[in-house]
């Protein structure tokens, strides 16, 4: 299928359908010599694994990753890295009832219009399971970035209408509740709201915030391939993401220039900024500040609550979706956001190496 590749130097292709034999990714362009093993990739995958409580799908799979190529004696070989995760708990029967019905809010209608048929078993390529390949590849990009002193961390900024204000963030707390909200009181409010929605057979959305630290200034290309444009494209390509903002984002429209500009200053001989309304990106290039991205996730489309829809032949029907679905996507998708951020930044770090002649000459002088 076209459109399953991402990146220009650090490249990834994801493959596999939700209820097919397996899902996975091929990473090409990762430099040789990076320490990587299945365990490190598994740590990332375990954070998106289903079956972890009532706020995620009951589909219960180990999602154990196997590295098929490109790694030798614990190090990347510079050759394509093939990653595979088997689908062990795929129940096609759950989908037989809806195979000819278009689920409101899902990709079914578009697939039929585009290809003339669709893999209705679990949503095929439009399933949340497609993100396994992204996360496995993102884990390798994340390890590469760690070598360069770059860290990536995402948490929930809002669950449904329960949003965290700037002064309320306690990142330690985000590790302790199933919503990954960085505030205890707000997590308990989110729990009340989510329980009510689940009882009603409904679903909820939310906002993920991703912070990237340690990116040197000047990463990103200044015209079409702006860092903010490419990060937004990568994160917007995750299923159910309907909005992306960087730094002040939509708020900036209501601010004055004097409020939104970040004053430059010198600290210990280094140029920095006194605030970070830019979210770490100016002119399409990193400005040395922490990169801050937020992604708005819509409520999960597959819901038990009765809705109106149509069959493939146009007959109008009522639909109630019984399969196993995430009542909210954000907590499981945080690691997917981190993965897309890692893949994008890793690619740009490599692209940036060709920006200056003197650095290219320095590099080749070493041979
Ligand atoms: C990690 C993850 C899990 C998801 N789980 C479900 C799910 O259980 N049920 C569902 O209907 N959609 C789920 N989705 C969302 C659909 O994939 C998505 O809404 C659908 O493909 C339509 O695309 P769009 O919302 O981007 O327009 C999930 C998405 C992600 C990223």
pLDDT given for residue 173 in this prediction: 94
Bridge partners, residue 67, by sequence: 83
Please work out whether the CB of residue 300 comes within 6 Å of at least one atom of ligand 1.
Answer: yes
> What does each C-alpha distance from 4 to 19, 25, 218 come to in angstroms?
18, 10, 28
Please work out whether the CB of residue 240 comes within 6 Å of at least one atom of ligand 1.
Answer: yes
Across the chain, which has 367 residues, the per-10-residue mean pLDDT values are 91 94 97 98 90 67 94 98 90 76 94 90 87 98 98 98 96 93 97 95 97 98 97 98 98 98 95 97 98 98 96 95 87 97 98 97 90
Q: Is the separation of the CB atoms in 299 and 269 below 8 Å? A: no
Distance between Cα 234 and ligand 1 center (Å): 16
Distance between Cα 128 and ligand 1 center (Å): 5
Closest CA to 352 of 340, 360, 362, 361: 360
pLDDT given for residue 90 in this prediction: 62
Distance in angstroms (rounded) separating the CA atoms of residues 29 and 141: 10
Please work out whether the CB of residue 301 comes within 6 Å of at least one atom of ligand 1.
Answer: yes
Say if pTM beats, i.e. exceeds, 0.85.
yes
In the block, which residue shows the tokens 């990076």? Answer: 34
DSSP for 133-148, written as a single string: HHHHHHHHHHHHHHHT
Distance between Cα 106 and ligand 1 center (Å): 7
DSSP for 32-92, written as a single string: TT-B--HHHHHHHHHTT-S-SSTTS-S------EEEEESEETTEE-SSPEEEEEE--S--T
Please work out whether the CB of residue 326 comes within 6 Å of at least one atom of ligand 1.
Answer: yes
Map out the domains of the chain with their CATH numbers: 5-365 (3.60.150.10)
């Amino acid at each position: 299928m076209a459109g399953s590749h991402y990146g220009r130097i650090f490249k990834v292709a994801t493959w596999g359908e939700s209820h097919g034999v397996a899902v996975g990714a091929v990473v090409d362009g990762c430099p040789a010599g990076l320490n990587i093993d299945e365990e490190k990739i598994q740590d990332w995958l375990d954070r998106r694994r289903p079956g972890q409580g009532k706020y995620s799908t009951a589909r219960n799979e180990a999602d154990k990753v196997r590295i098929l190529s490109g790694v030798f004696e614990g190090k990347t070989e510079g050759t394509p890295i093939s990653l595979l995760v088997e689908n062990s708990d795929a129940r096609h029967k759950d989908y037989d009832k809806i195979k000819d019905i278009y689920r409101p809010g899902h990709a079914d209608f578009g697939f039929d219009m585009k290809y003339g048929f669709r893999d209705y078993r679990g949503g095929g390529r439009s399933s949340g399971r497609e993100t396994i390949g992204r996360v496995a590849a993102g884990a390798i990009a994340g390890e590469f970035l760690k070598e360069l002193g770059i860290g990536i961390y995402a948490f929930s900024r809002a669950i449904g209408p329960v949003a965290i204000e700037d002064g309320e963030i306690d990142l330690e707390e985000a590790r302790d509740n199933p919503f990954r909200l960085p505030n205890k009181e707000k997590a308990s409010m989110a729990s009340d709201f989510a329980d009510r929605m689940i009882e009603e057979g409904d679903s909820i959305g939310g906002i993920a915030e991703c912070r990237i630290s340690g990116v040197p200034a000047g990463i990103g290309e200044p015209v079409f391939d702006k860092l903010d444009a490419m990060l937004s494209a990568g994160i917007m390509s995750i299923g159910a993401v309907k909005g992306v903002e960087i730094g002040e984002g939509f708020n900036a429209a209501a601010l004055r220039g004097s409020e939104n500009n970040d004053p430059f200053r010198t600290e210990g001989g280094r140029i920095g900024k006194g605030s970070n309304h830019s979210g770490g990106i100016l002119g399409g290039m990193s400005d040395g500040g922490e990169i801050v991205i937020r992604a708005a996730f819509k409520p999960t489309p597959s819901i038990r609550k009765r809705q109106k829809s149509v069959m493939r032949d146009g007959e109008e029907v009522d639909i109630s979706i019984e399969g196993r679905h995430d009542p909210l996507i954000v907590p499981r998708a945080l690691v997917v956001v981190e993965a897309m951020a890692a893949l994008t930044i890793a690619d740009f770090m490599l692209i940036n190496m060709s920006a200056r002649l003197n650095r290219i000459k320095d590099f080749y002088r070493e041979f």
